[in-house]
Amino acid sequence: MKDNNCIFCKIAAGEIPSKTIYEDDKFRVIMDLGAASEGHALILPKDHYANLMELDEETASSVLPLAGKISRAMMKSLDCDGLNLVQNNGEEAGQTVMHFHLHMIPRYKGGNEVIEWKPGSPSAEELEETAAKIREAL
């Protein structure tokens, strides 16, 4: 399934040129035009899914092994010191293109702070209350 109005569908299908580093029948992995660091890449499914919640099980189960394969190549070829995998869902989470994609961001010693948050300190009761809400929705 494709969305004719989706730029990532067009890139994944090869209709819009990209700097592709990997492609198979399900995915295209491209260099990110707004790279947070050298080597920043995106894993794009060729089928359209707006976000993680829409992924079918087959696609979902294929994303992480592919990320592992690309990560190993990045670590070997770019001499990076670490790697972040980032996947945003919804505008409030920072998703700007409503097509599931996984950011692969190589990290380098002394490099820019790319991903950070201030850790909270919820009480054990607050954690249990939140966990119970989620369990109920399963």
Q: Which residues have a catalytic role annotated?
A: 101
Q: Residue 30 has which token pair?
A: 């491209």
Distance CA 112, CA 37 (A): 8
Closest CA to 49 of 84, 87, 18, 94: 87
Closest CA to 57 of 26, 87, 80: 26
